[in-house]
Amino acid sequence: MNTLHLIAVGANLPGPDGASPRMTCERALVRLAALPGLSLTARSRWFSTAPVPPSDQPRYVNGVVRLEGPAEPAGLLAALQACEAAAGRRRGARDAARTLDMDIIDMAGLVRDMPDPVLPHPRAHLRLFVLLPLRDVAPRWAHPRLGRTVGELIAALPTQDVRPL
């Protein structure tokens, strides 16, 4: 598959070396830019976001990048998980605090329910912390299942605590 891929990047815990969540996210972009055959062609602003669902976790740093080039879903997922592991990510409970979280939001409009990764990301359209930075890198993006533009999806959501850094 050779085209546009949208990747969400976020963190809310210090890295194993004490790096701030924002620094961990910046380092993740360097790793993404180095993936063989892919080019990092756009990056969003960083956003400070409250945890979803609400909890007593620290705030997150979130952004989205656009990669272009040939990639298969399973291979890209494995590369993202390797980046997460390098940043000290330990998989545990869903929605738990983490040193780095990287999700494939969309791969060239591919729609699939199995195997992993499910595409497009099954909850991306419900999260301003994904949609606002996604709009920075792909302002004309439309959800492959819903057919709604990123602007329409943002307008349909209730207020969430998401602030540009």
Domain extent listing, the chain: 2-164
Element (H, E) at 106: strand 101-107
Six token digits for residue 96: 């738990």
Backbone angles phi, psi at 45, to 5 degrees: -70, 160
- What is the C-alpha to C-alpha distance for residues 99 and 42, in angstroms, rounded to an integer? 23
Six token digits for residue 28: 């993740």
Tokens 């929605």 sit on residue: 95
- What is the C-alpha to C-alpha distance for residues 30 and 12, in angstroms, rounded to an integer? 18
The set of residues, in sequence order, having a beta carbon less than 8 Å from that of 117 and lying 6+ positions away, is: 73, 74, 76, 77, 103, 104
Q: What percent of the chain has pLDDT over 90?
A: 87
- What is the C-alpha to C-alpha distance for residues 50 and 136, in angstroms, rounded to an integer? 20
The secondary structure of 54-89 as a DSSP string is --SSPPEEEEEEEEEEE--HHHHHHHHHHHHHHTT-
| Whether the predicted pLDDT of 95 surpasses 80 | no
| Closest by Cα among 3, 5, 8 to 129 | 8
pLDDT tens per residue, range 3-43:
899 999 999 999 999 999 999 999 999 999 999 999 999 99
pTM: 0.94
Averaged pLDDT of the chain: 94
pLDDT tens per residue, range 46-70:
999 998 877 889 999 999 999 999 9
Residue 152 CB coordination number (10 Å): 13
Determine the pLDDT at residue 2: 59
| Whether the predicted pLDDT of 1 surpasses 80 | no
State in words which class domain 2-164 has. Answer: alpha beta
